[in-house]
Amino acid sequence: MATKTLEDLFIDGVKDIYYAERKIVAALKKMTRGAQSQDLKSAFDLHLQETEGQIERLVQVFELLGKPARGKTCAAIDGIIEEGQEILEEFKDSPALDAGLLAAAQAVEHYEIARYGTLRNWALELGKEDVAQLLGQTLAEEEKTDQALTQLADAKVNRKGKTKAA
Protein backbone atom coordinates (compact mmCIF):
# COMPACT_ATOMS: atom_id res chain seq x y z
CA MET A 1 0.00 0.00 0.00
CA ALA A 2 1.40 3.38 -1.03
CA THR A 3 2.12 5.95 1.63
CA LYS A 4 -0.37 8.80 1.62
CA THR A 5 1.08 12.28 1.18
CA LEU A 6 0.11 15.88 1.87
CA GLU A 7 -1.14 15.97 -1.74
CA ASP A 8 -3.57 13.12 -0.96
CA LEU A 9 -4.70 14.86 2.21
CA PHE A 10 -5.16 18.11 0.28
CA ILE A 11 -7.31 16.43 -2.41
CA ASP A 12 -9.44 14.80 0.30
CA GLY A 13 -9.87 18.20 1.95
CA VAL A 14 -10.99 19.83 -1.30
CA LYS A 15 -13.52 17.02 -1.82
CA ASP A 16 -14.70 17.48 1.77
CA ILE A 17 -15.30 21.23 1.43
CA TYR A 18 -16.98 20.76 -1.97
CA TYR A 19 -19.47 18.37 -0.33
CA ALA A 20 -19.88 20.80 2.57
CA GLU A 21 -20.58 23.81 0.35
CA ARG A 22 -23.26 21.93 -1.55
CA LYS A 23 -24.92 20.89 1.72
CA ILE A 24 -24.68 24.48 2.98
CA VAL A 25 -26.65 25.74 -0.04
CA ALA A 26 -29.60 23.53 0.91
CA ALA A 27 -29.32 24.47 4.60
CA LEU A 28 -29.19 28.21 3.84
CA LYS A 29 -32.40 27.96 1.84
CA LYS A 30 -34.16 26.35 4.83
CA MET A 31 -32.67 28.84 7.28
CA THR A 32 -33.74 31.78 5.10
CA ARG A 33 -37.31 30.50 5.05
CA GLY A 34 -37.25 29.89 8.82
CA ALA A 35 -35.68 33.17 9.94
CA GLN A 36 -38.02 35.76 11.44
CA SER A 37 -35.93 38.90 10.97
CA GLN A 38 -35.74 40.41 7.50
CA ASP A 39 -32.13 41.40 8.27
CA LEU A 40 -31.22 37.79 8.98
CA LYS A 41 -33.13 36.55 5.92
CA SER A 42 -31.16 39.05 3.82
CA ALA A 43 -27.84 37.98 5.37
CA PHE A 44 -28.61 34.32 4.66
CA ASP A 45 -29.71 35.12 1.11
CA LEU A 46 -26.52 37.08 0.45
CA HIS A 47 -24.41 34.23 1.78
CA LEU A 48 -26.37 31.75 -0.34
CA GLN A 49 -25.36 33.70 -3.44
CA GLU A 50 -21.74 33.81 -2.23
CA THR A 51 -21.78 30.07 -1.51
CA GLU A 52 -22.96 29.33 -5.04
CA GLY A 53 -19.98 31.36 -6.30
CA GLN A 54 -17.69 29.46 -3.94
CA ILE A 55 -18.86 26.17 -5.41
CA GLU A 56 -18.01 27.48 -8.87
CA ARG A 57 -14.58 28.48 -7.56
CA LEU A 58 -14.09 24.95 -6.17
CA VAL A 59 -14.93 23.54 -9.60
CA GLN A 60 -12.07 25.72 -10.91
CA VAL A 61 -9.82 24.28 -8.21
CA PHE A 62 -10.68 20.74 -9.30
CA GLU A 63 -9.95 21.69 -12.92
CA LEU A 64 -6.55 23.12 -11.94
CA LEU A 65 -5.81 19.91 -10.04
CA GLY A 66 -6.88 17.77 -13.00
CA LYS A 67 -9.53 16.04 -10.90
CA PRO A 68 -13.30 15.65 -11.35
CA ALA A 69 -15.42 17.89 -9.11
CA ARG A 70 -16.61 15.28 -6.66
CA GLY A 71 -17.41 15.57 -3.01
CA LYS A 72 -16.55 13.32 -0.10
CA THR A 73 -19.03 12.93 2.74
CA CYS A 74 -18.19 15.30 5.57
CA ALA A 75 -19.58 14.15 8.88
CA ALA A 76 -18.57 17.44 10.53
CA ILE A 77 -20.73 19.64 8.30
CA ASP A 78 -23.56 17.09 8.41
CA GLY A 79 -23.55 17.39 12.21
CA ILE A 80 -23.39 21.18 12.23
CA ILE A 81 -26.26 21.40 9.74
CA GLU A 82 -28.28 18.88 11.77
CA GLU A 83 -27.90 21.12 14.83
CA GLY A 84 -29.23 24.04 12.81
CA GLN A 85 -32.22 21.95 11.74
CA GLU A 86 -32.91 21.08 15.38
CA ILE A 87 -32.92 24.78 16.25
CA LEU A 88 -35.41 25.43 13.43
CA GLU A 89 -37.73 22.79 14.85
CA GLU A 90 -37.28 23.30 18.59
CA PHE A 91 -37.38 27.12 18.59
CA LYS A 92 -40.01 27.68 15.91
CA ASP A 93 -42.11 30.74 16.80
CA SER A 94 -39.71 31.58 19.65
CA PRO A 95 -38.14 35.03 19.99
CA ALA A 96 -34.80 33.19 20.31
CA LEU A 97 -35.13 31.43 16.92
CA ASP A 98 -33.08 33.96 14.98
CA ALA A 99 -30.33 33.99 17.62
CA GLY A 100 -30.14 30.20 17.35
CA LEU A 101 -30.11 30.24 13.55
CA LEU A 102 -27.43 32.90 13.53
CA ALA A 103 -25.32 30.86 15.96
CA ALA A 104 -25.75 27.78 13.75
CA ALA A 105 -24.69 29.81 10.71
CA GLN A 106 -21.59 30.99 12.56
CA ALA A 107 -20.71 27.40 13.46
CA VAL A 108 -20.75 26.69 9.72
CA GLU A 109 -18.62 29.77 9.03
CA HIS A 110 -16.05 28.78 11.64
CA TYR A 111 -15.80 25.30 10.14
CA GLU A 112 -15.32 26.80 6.67
CA ILE A 113 -12.73 29.31 7.90
CA ALA A 114 -10.72 26.49 9.48
CA ARG A 115 -10.98 24.29 6.39
CA TYR A 116 -10.22 26.99 3.81
CA GLY A 117 -7.31 28.33 5.86
CA THR A 118 -5.75 24.89 6.05
CA LEU A 119 -6.37 24.12 2.37
CA ARG A 120 -4.90 27.44 1.28
CA ASN A 121 -1.78 26.80 3.36
CA TRP A 122 -1.42 23.27 2.02
CA ALA A 123 -1.83 24.53 -1.56
CA LEU A 124 1.02 26.98 -0.95
CA GLU A 125 3.16 24.24 0.59
CA LEU A 126 2.48 22.08 -2.48
CA GLY A 127 3.45 24.93 -4.87
CA LYS A 128 -0.11 25.42 -6.15
CA GLU A 129 -0.23 29.22 -5.99
CA ASP A 130 -3.16 29.51 -8.42
CA VAL A 131 -5.22 27.13 -6.29
CA ALA A 132 -4.14 28.89 -3.08
CA GLN A 133 -5.31 32.21 -4.55
CA LEU A 134 -8.79 30.80 -5.27
CA LEU A 135 -9.04 29.24 -1.81
CA GLY A 136 -7.82 32.48 -0.25
CA GLN A 137 -10.62 34.41 -1.98
CA THR A 138 -13.18 32.12 -0.43
CA LEU A 139 -11.47 32.30 2.97
CA ALA A 140 -11.74 36.10 2.88
CA GLU A 141 -15.45 35.87 2.02
CA GLU A 142 -16.08 33.45 4.88
CA GLU A 143 -14.28 35.72 7.35
CA LYS A 144 -16.27 38.72 6.13
CA THR A 145 -19.54 36.80 6.49
CA ASP A 146 -18.62 35.75 10.03
CA GLN A 147 -17.93 39.37 10.95
CA ALA A 148 -21.22 40.52 9.43
CA LEU A 149 -23.13 37.85 11.35
CA THR A 150 -21.43 38.89 14.59
CA GLN A 151 -22.43 42.51 14.00
CA LEU A 152 -26.02 41.49 13.27
CA ALA A 153 -26.13 39.34 16.41
CA ASP A 154 -24.74 42.13 18.59
CA ALA A 155 -26.87 44.89 17.08
CA LYS A 156 -30.27 43.19 16.94
CA VAL A 157 -30.75 39.46 16.93
CA ASN A 158 -29.46 38.46 20.37
CA ARG A 159 -31.31 41.32 22.07
CA LYS A 160 -34.60 40.27 20.45
CA GLY A 161 -33.99 36.69 21.59
CA LYS A 162 -34.14 37.76 25.25
CA THR A 163 -37.75 38.94 25.06
CA LYS A 164 -40.52 36.70 26.35
CA ALA A 165 -42.95 35.31 23.79
CA ALA A 166 -46.39 36.94 23.93
CB 121 within 8 A of CB 55: no
Mean pLDDT score of the chain, rounded to an integer?
A: 94
**142 CB contacts (<8 Å, ≥6 apart)?**
109, 112, 113, 116
Between the alpha carbon of residue 77 and those of residues 24, 40, 53, 84, 152, the distances in Å are 8, 21, 19, 11, 23
Contacts made by residues 42-51, CB under 8 angstroms, sequence distance 24+: 43/105, 43/148, 43/149, 43/152, 44/101, 44/105, 47/105, 47/145, 50/141, 50/145, 51/21, 51/24, 51/25
* H-state helical runs in 35-128: 38-65, 75-90, 97-125
Residue at 113 is within a domain: yes
Residue at 103 is within a domain: yes
The pLDDT value recorded for residue 163 is 73
Q: What is the pLDDT of residues 97-112, one digit of tens each?
A: 999 999 999 999 999 9
Q: What is the pLDDT of residues 32-91, one digit of tens each?
A: 999 999 999 999 999 999 999 999 999 999 999 999 999 999 999 999 999 999 999 999
Residue at 94 is within a domain: yes
Residue at 69 is within a domain: yes
Q: What is the CATH number of the domain that holds 44?
A: 1.20.1260.10
Residue at 39 is within a domain: yes
CB 25 within 8 A of CB 55: yes
Domain that holds residue 38: 6-159
Residue at 164 is within a domain: no
Q: How many domains does the chain have?
A: 1
pTM of the model: 0.92
The pLDDT value recorded for residue 165 is 55
Residue at 166 is within a domain: no
